[in-house]
Amino acid sequence: MTEIIGVRFKNAGKTYYFSPGDHKLAVGQRVVVETARGIECGSVVIANRMMPDEQIVVPLKEIIRPADDKDLRVIEENAAKEREAFRVCQEKIAAHRLNMHLVDVEYTFGGGKILFYFTADGRIDFRELVKDLASIFRTRIELRQIGVRDESKMLGGLGICGRPFCCATFLGDFQPVSIKMAKEQNLSLNPTKISGTCGRLMCCLKYEQEAYEDLLRTTPRVGAPVLTPDGNGVVTEVSLLTGMLKVQLERDEDLAPVIYQKEDVKWGRDLAGRGRRGREPKEGDVPREDKNAKEERGRKKND
């Protein structure tokens, strides 16, 4: 077991583990740590706790210090510099006539690097832009092309549900989402109904997918033959969440379908041994010949 704290550098970014050393830190407290990008200041999102070694990558880097007033002033100054760098970069993009959209600017805590995030439809030759920015800011410049989902995460906004974007509030990582999820959840396949502001499938399709997969395993599909208390029938409509089925009975094909709970019908393996389409075996029925016995009889005939 190793004592750790969880540190996040953005509101809805990934959580990284560090060793707290001799410090007892509370959630929300700022700390200065060393990362692959250099010295950074982040917020504690997981207070001191013990964690099994197999769940972390050891050895952990130890925090440098809890952030003091001087560090907080540096963060405020960097925020002001980022706004100015954003304005300058937009002017240079227009001057070079580059087909790119600037999304965000980030100063590293130590000021040794400035990162410019942008979106574009294809590859952009921004070498001359980097030279201009480096001559102005006199520090390392890095331009990163991001996707539309990352753009929404950075800018934030309101989704069609009326709430702030999930990616901008609590989602640390983007989960893979497919059109199959929308089909299994019986949602409209209209792109405007199941797509987020970013134009991609909504992240929230993933939230209930496991529950729907479990319900699909225990619920007959439309068109499946079933045995009801009133006789044989075929499922015409399914409500996964309520467990209600509409079944068209074979004996009353001219009447409207009857509603049953899925616990009240038998289907799939439950119909094994009942003959064709779930019919109860009757006296005088000839059982189907075993496959091995049929092959044996064919060999004897050939001999």
Could you report the per-residue pLDDT of 36-91, keeping only the tens digit for each?
A: 878 888 888 888 888 887 888 878 888 888 888 888 898 888 889 999 999 999 99
Dist. CA 146–CA 148, nearest whole Å: 7
Under DSSP, the state recorded for 201 is B
154 vs 280, higher pLDDT: 154
Distance of CA 155 to the CA centre of its chain: 19
- In this structure, of 44-53, 62-71, 130-139, 290-299, the range with the lowest mean pLDDT score is 290-299
Task: Check if the beta carbon of residue 93 is closer than 8 Å to that of residue 128.
Answer: no
Give dist(CA 165, CA 156) in Å, integer: 6
Q: Has residue 237 got a pLDDT over 60?
A: yes
The gap from C-alpha 186 to its chain's centroid, in whole angstroms, comes to: 19
Q: Which domains are delineated in the chain?
A: 2-67 (no CATH), 73-146 (3.30.300), 153-206 (no CATH), 225-272 (2.30.30)
Question: Region 242-253: what's the mean pLDDT?
Answer: 86
pLDDT at residue 293, as a whole number:
54
φ/ψ of residue 180, rounded to 5: -60, -35
Mean pLDDT of 242-251: 88
Structure tokens at 201: 């499938």
Query: pLDDT band for position 189 (50/70/90)?
Result: confident
Q: Is the confidence at residue 287, as pLDDT, over 50?
A: no
Confidence (pTM): 0.68
Question: Could you tell me if 259 and 239 are in contact, meaning their C-beta atoms sit under 8 angstroms apart?
Answer: no
CA distance 274 to 231: 13
- CA 192, 197, 202, 207 torsion-angle sign: negative
Helices (H) and strands (E) in the chain, counts: 8, 13
Burial 96-115 (b: 16+ CB within 10 A, else e): eebebebbbbbbbbebebbb
Paired strand residues for 5: 18
CA gap 185, 219 in Å, rounded: 13
For 15, 254, 271, the CA distances from 10, given in Å and listed in that order, are 9, 63, 55
By DSSP bridging, strand 101-107 and strand 2-8 are unpaired
Q: Which of 53-62, 105-114, 192-201, 205-214 is predicted with the least confidence, judged by mean pLDDT?
A: 53-62
Burial of 126 (0-12, 13-18, 19+ CB in 10 A): buried
